[in-house]
Amino acid sequence: MSAPSGIELADQLKDVFAEAVQDPSTRFLKIAIKNEKLVHETTVKKRADDLAGDLPQLQNTLEDKTPAYILARQDGDGNGWLFISYVPDDATVRDKMLYASSRGSLVKSLGSTNFTDNIFATSKEDISEEAYAAHRRHINAPKPQTSQEKEMEQVREAERGGSLEGSRGRRNHVGTRVGINWSEEAERAVTELGEEDEDKLVILSIDVESETLIAASVMEEEVDYLGGSLPSEEPCFAFFSWKHNHAPTPRRDIIFIYSCPSTSPIKGRMVYSLAAASLLQTAKTFLAGSKANLVAKKLETSDPSEINAEFIVSRLNLDREDPEGNATTSRPGSSEPKAFAKPRGPGRRVPR
């Protein structure tokens, strides 16, 4: 299977992974991109009693400036594998793009159901015992406590205040407010999403210093692996092109996702909330006339890991052809957009 980047799996890679699944002594597989192919580079055996205890072995396995994928056997029988995307901050731009766009293809080719957790690391410190312990605490943490809920309300209040600004807000050439400009790459990625035949995910982030929206990742992705593709500790915007049969008539929807994890710094959450108020309307201009259907209601979550097909369909009522009064769908290029429904609070995590 070829990734959007054109990178293909080496012939023996599936066999290596299949053997590792059957061999309980295997802890890690290191996968790298070599000569335009995804290849198995290293196998690391268990030394400790648990995954956390074996993580120090990766400090010598990984290089400071060279990206790699690490497939890590999790503790216990039947608990699957942890997928680690290691893309150092000091890696070249080309390598960053190659590894970002090839990850989804690798996961699909090896079997999405084999991977039950994932980590995105930009340094070796992100894969230390301490970092992994923090990751597990976050995964197992209870739903936001009262103080966290208050913070989320502050963010939503800021968003509502930003919406009142209306046409008085400062605008750029495509009409976004509060000084958020779209980079050419971000605009092109969202525009091209309307012509895609494959399920594809575009993740956008804000460069706070330049107040510019940038395309952080563009990749083919399966809907039930969507939550693992979004940053777990930083806010982001995402557009997901999804062909599905949940509506009475099969169709392709483009879904706008605003993910703001409860652990995000409050300042960053405020910036993203203010920008979110106009982002969907701007995207509508880019997608006018496309063959896909832009869903008019944004999908919000403070726990990106809960996003899957069931979550999307239930939150956006995609099983209806044209739900009345819910502003669920709006064909790009139609006359007046329907009003947004009042955002719901974060839902319970849907078991996978």
User: What is the percent of the chain where pLDDT is above 70?
Assistant: 78
Q: Which tokens is 153 given?
A: 């309300």
Type of residue numbered 89: D
Is pLDDT larger for residue 277 or for residue 152?
A: 277
Residue ranges matching CATH 3.40.20.10 in the chain: 8-139, 146-316
How many CB atoms neighbour CB 243 within 10 A? Answer: 14
Whole-angstrom Cα distance, residue 91 to residue 68?
A: 11
Which pLDDT band, with edges at 50, 70 and 90, does 249 fall under? confident
How much is the average pLDDT of 118-133?
94
User: Does position 295 have pLDDT exceeding 80, yes or no?
Assistant: yes
Q: What is the pLDDT of residue 325?
A: 31
Whole-angstrom Cα distance, residue 29 to residue 50?
A: 16
Q: What is the pLDDT of residue 178?
A: 41
Angle at 262 between CA 256 and CA 264, to 5 degrees: 85
Is pLDDT larger for residue 197 or for residue 142?
A: 197
User: Does position 61 have pLDDT exceeding 90, yes or no?
Assistant: yes
User: Does position 37 have pLDDT exceeding 70, yes or no?
Assistant: yes
C-alpha separations of 326 from 19, 243, 315, 337, 341 in Å: 50, 21, 11, 12, 6
Q: What is the pLDDT of residue 154?
A: 64
How much is the average pLDDT of 6-30?
93
Chain segment 46-55, per-residue pLDDT in tens: 999 999 999 9
What CATH number labels 146-316? 3.40.20.10
DSSP notation for 116-161: EEEEEESSGGGGSHHHHHHHHHHHHPPSP-HHHHHHHHHHHHHHHH
Q: Which tokens is 277 given?
A: 């108020």
User: Does position 276 have pLDDT exceeding 70, yes or no?
Assistant: yes
Q: Which residue has the tokens 């209806």?
A: 320
Q: Which tokens is 140 given?
A: 């197992």
Q: Are 17 and 29 in contact (CB under 8 A)?
A: yes
Cα first-last separation, the chain:
25
How much is the average pLDDT of 215-220?
92
| Secondary structure string (H, E, C) spanning 69-87 | EEEEECCCCCCCEEEEEEC
Q: Tell me the pLDDT of the chain averaged across its residues.
A: 81
Q: Which tokens is 54 given?
A: 């074996």
Whole-angstrom Cα distance, residue 54 to residue 74?
A: 11
Whole-angstrom Cα distance, residue 182 to residue 282?
A: 10
DSSP notation for 246-268: -SSS-EEEEEEEEE--TTS-HHH
User: Which parts of the chain fold into alpha helices (H)?
Assistant: 13-22, 51-54, 58-61, 93-110, 129-140, 146-164, 184-193, 226-229, 266-286, 309-316
Q: Are 202 and 169 in contact (CB under 8 A)?
A: no
Q: What is the pLDDT of residue 279?
A: 87
Whole-angstrom Cα distance, residue 322 to residue 326?
A: 9
How much is the average pLDDT of 245-264?
88
Whole-angstrom Cα distance, residue 200 to residue 158?
A: 31
Q: What is the pLDDT of residue 322?
A: 53
Q: What is the pLDDT of residue 5?
A: 58
Mode of pairing for the β-strands spanning 81-86 and 68-73: antiparallel
Topology given in CATH for the domain delimited by 8-139: Severin (3.40.20)
Chain segment 296-326, per-residue pLDDT in tens: 888 999 999 999 999 998 888 876 655 433 3
Whole-angstrom Cα distance, residue 217 to residue 230?
A: 10
Nearest C-alpha neighbor of 292 from the set 304, 283, 279, 301? 283
Q: What is the pLDDT of residue 25?
A: 95
How much is the average pLDDT of 167-194?
67
